Amino acid sequence: MFFYNQNMGKTADLFIRAEHADLLKKLNAWDIAYHQNDAPIVDDATYDEAKSRILEIEAEYPELAVNGFSTHVGAAVSTKFKSYPHTVPMLSISDVFNENEVADWFNKLESSDLFVELKVDGLSFAARYENGVFVRGLTRGSGIAGEDITANLMTIPDIPKKLSGDFPDVIEVRGEVYMARADFFALNETSDKKFANPRNAAAGSLRQLNPAITASRKLSAFGYTYGDLSERTWKTQSEYFEKLESWGFKTTANWARKVNSVSQIQDFYNEVMLHRDEIPFDIDGLVIKVNSVDIQEKMGSRANSPRWEIAYKFPAARGITKLNGITIQVGRTGVLTPVAELEPINIGGVLVSRATLHNADEIARLGVRVGDKVIVQRAGDVIPQIVQVAEQEPNAIPFVFPDICPVCGGAVVQESGAVARRCINSLSCPAQICGELEHFVSRHAFDIDGLGEKQIELFVSNGWLKEAADIFTLVDKYGDQIRDMDGFGYKSLSNLKTAIDNAKNIDLYRVIYAIGIPEVGEVTAKILAREFKSMDALRGAKESDLIKIDGIGNIMAHEIVSFFDDFHAMSALDNLLKHINIKNPENIVIQNDIFNGKKVVLTGTLTKYTRDEAKAILEQLGAKPQGSVSVKTDIVIAGENAGSKLTDAQKFGVQIWTEQDFENAVGQITKSANQ
C-alpha cells in the first residue's frame, strides 16, 4: 500500500488522504467560525484533538503539508474590513498539552533561561507606531495579512495613542485584546446579544465596523511581543516587558516567571491552575519562551510558528454537546432545580454528563430545548452549567416545568417576588428530608463519616430516619437490620456508631450551621455563636437585635427569626438537643488590638498554613475573615501568586500584609497573652 521516496519519505494512501482532507475541511470551517464570525461551533478539546491529528499526519507524510494545516495561521481576513499585509508574519504558537511534551521541546533548546507568561484568551492585535505615534492596527487574520481595526483599537484605553519614554522610530507592538470577567458579566446583563464567554465578547466588540460600538464596551489589552522594528535595545523577553510598560502598555508581568527547568515550568503551571479563577480575566494556558532574543532569532520559525516558544494549554473549560433531557432535583429546602442530562463530554479532564440549569427563568432566558446542542462550562470546582445554545435543532422539544413535586407529589408554588419554585410538603417529602440530613452530617456540620447520600436515602426510605435526632438512636434501634444489609457488617456498623458518638460533643457554630437556617452559612454561624454564646440566647433573638450585628442584613435576620418561630423546626431542635453536648470554644477569643473586629481577606498561597488554618487563627484572634475585598476591608494578607484580590486591595488603598507580617503579628499577640 505504501511506497518509499528518498526525497519525500512515506507517501500517504487513499485512506490517509481522505482523513487529511476531511480534517482540513473541518478545521478551516471551524477557524472561520472562530476568527471571522466570533461564534465557535466546536469546543476547544474537539478542535485541539483534530489539530493534533492533522499535524501528526502531515509530519509523517510531508507531501500533505505543502498546502496543509502546517502552513496555516488563523483564517482569511473578512471582506467586511480593509486588509493590509503584515510586514513581519504574525505567526501562531505551537501547542503542547502535558509535561512530557514540554520536556521534548525543552530538551532541544540550547538555553534553559526561559520566561513564562499567561496565555490570555482574547483576540490578537498588532499596533504600529512611527515616531511614537500609533498609525495602524491589524488583527492576526491569516498571519500574512490582517484586518484594519485602527479606529477600534484607538478606543481602548490600554493601547496608547502615543508612546512615552525611549522608543524605536518604528515598532509594531503585538498583544491581546481581552474583556475582564467582571466587564463581561456586566455587558451580558445589559446587552440584547448574549455572549458565550469573554473571548467571544472581546472579539465581537473589537471587530465592529462602527468604532462607537467598540468604544461602548469595556475592552482591555496587554502587550507581549513585537513585529516590525527599526532597532532593538533589549536583550531578553523580560526586558521587553519592562520596555512595554515604560511606553505605556500593560503586560502580564505580575503573573510571569523566569524558570530554568521542566519541573519549575510544571510547578508554575500547577500554581496558575490552582488560582486560575482568581485571575480577573480568562486564560487558556501558559506561553513559554526562550528569554534571550538573540537565541530566539537564531532558532527562527517553522512555516506557522516560532521554534523558541510554545503554548502549554490548560484543559478546556468549555465544551459543546447535546442536551438529551432535563430532570428535576428537589433540595433540602424544597426548591426544584432543573438539571441538564447531557451527551457525555470531556471538559477539563472530567467527563461531564450533567449540568445545572438553575431555574425555570434560566431555561426561558437561554431558550434551550431538549435536543439542542449547548455550550457547557466548567471552571475549577464549580458545578458545570449551560451558558448558551450553540445550535438549535428543528425537532427539539420545549421543557414544561412541573407543577407537582416529582418526588412526593406535593404542590409546587412560586412565592411572590421569588425565582425558585418550591415543594410545600416539607414535613414528609423524602427528597427534602434526605437533603436536610445530608447537610446535617456534612464536614462543616456534624461531620459523621459513614452516613453518605446513599445510606441516608436507604434509611429514610425504610422509615428509620425522619429528623436529625433519629441519627443518634439509629444504631441502637436498627443495628441488627443494618448489619445484615449489603455493604454493611460488624466493622462498618461499629465505625458508624463511633462516628455518631464522637459527633455528640460539638461546637455551637456547627450546630447552628447544621440545623439548616435559611441564608445562614458557616461564616454567619460562627458570627452568631460568638455574639449569642448559647442556643437559648439565639432562639430568643429579635430581628432588631440581629440586624445590629455586622454581616447580618434584614433578609437574613428575618429568616433566622422565622426559623425559630416555626413549631415543627423547634420540635425537631428540642429532640436533637437531648442527644448532644454543645461546647463553645468560640467564646475563647484572645483579646488584642491588632485583629479584634478587623475585616481580613486572605489571597494567594501561604507556605506555612492552609487557608482553613489561617482563617481559624484569625477567628481565634477576633478577626472577621472575608471572601472579597472592598473599601471596608482592613487588611489583605497576600501569599504567593496573589491574584485579583491583591489588585483590588491596591485599588482601594487597603493595608497589605505578607505572610511574614501575619506570622509576626500572631507571634506578638501570643507572647503578650502568655505574659
Q: What is the pLDDT of residue 224?
A: 97
Mean pLDDT, rounded, of the chain: 86
**Domain 83-313 carries which CATH code?**
3.30.470.30
Average pLDDT rounded to a whole number, residues 360-381: 84
What is the sign of the dihedral through the CA atoms of 491, 493, 499 and 504?
A: negative
Please report which confidence band the pLDDT of residue 8 belongs to, taking 50, 70 and 90 as the band edges: very low
Its CATH class, for the domain covering 4-71, is: mainly alpha
Please report which confidence band the pLDDT of residue 13 belongs to, taking 50, 70 and 90 as the band edges: confident
Q: What is the pLDDT of residue 38?
A: 57
Q: What is the pLDDT of residue 59?
A: 79
Least confident of 426-430, 541-545, 550-554: 550-554
Average pLDDT rounded to a whole number, residues 175-196: 85
Identify the three-state secondary structure at position 339.
strand
- Domain limits, CATH 1.10.150.20, in the chain: 430-586
Q: What share of the chain has pLDDT > 90, as a percent?
A: 44
563 pLDDT exceeds 70?
yes
610 pLDDT exceeds 90?
no
Q: What is the pLDDT of residue 635?
A: 94
* 235-241 contacts, C-beta under 8 A, 24 or more apart: 235/292, 235/293, 235/294, 236/113, 236/115, 236/291, 236/292, 236/293, 237/115, 237/289, 237/290, 237/291, 237/293, 237/296, 238/115, 238/291, 240/293
- Domain limits, CATH 3.40.50.10190, in the chain: 599-674
Architecture of the domain delimited by 599-674: 3-Layer(aba) Sandwich (3.40)
Q: What share of the chain has pLDDT > 70, as a percent?
A: 91
CA neighbor of 475 nearest in space, from 486, 490, 461, 453: 490
Catalytic residue from among 26, 119, 161, 466: 119
Q: What angle do CA 274, 280, 281 make, to 5 degrees?
A: 95
Residue-wise pLDDT for 46-82, tens only, equals: 777 788 888 888 878 877 777 777 665 555 555 577 8
- Domain limits, CATH 1.10.287.610, in the chain: 4-71
- Domain limits, CATH 3.30.470.30, in the chain: 83-313
The b-or-e profile of 266-282 (16+ CB within 10 A means b, else e) is: bebbebbbebbebbebb
119 flagged as catalytic: yes
Q: Let me know: does 543 contact 557? Beta carbons within 8 Å.
A: yes
Q: Let me know: does 301 contact 127? Beta carbons within 8 Å.
A: no
Please report which confidence band the pLDDT of residue 3 belongs to, taking 50, 70 and 90 as the band edges: very low
Average pLDDT rounded to a whole number, residues 3-21: 62
Amino acid at 389: V
- Domain limits, CATH 2.40.50.140, in the chain: 318-401
41 pLDDT exceeds 70?
no
553 or 470, higher pLDDT: 470
6 pLDDT exceeds 50?
no
The b-or-e profile of 218-247 (16+ CB within 10 A means b, else e) is: bbbbbbbbbbeeeeeeeebbbebbebbeeb
Q: What is the pLDDT of residue 255?
A: 93
Residue-wise pLDDT for 258-302, tens only, equals: 999 999 999 999 888 878 878 999 898 999 999 999 999 999 988
Q: Which residue has the cell 538573540?
A: 294
107 pLDDT exceeds 50?
yes
In the CATH hierarchy, which fold is given to the domain comprising 318-401?
Answer: OB fold (Dihydrolipoamide Acetyltransferase, E2P) (2.40.50)
Range 430-586 has CATH code 1.10.150.20: yes
Please report which confidence band the pLDDT of residue 526 belongs to, taking 50, 70 and 90 as the band edges: confident
Listed in sequence order, the residues at least 6 apart from 197 whose beta carbon sits closer than 8 Å to its beta carbon are 121, 184, 282, 318, 377, 387
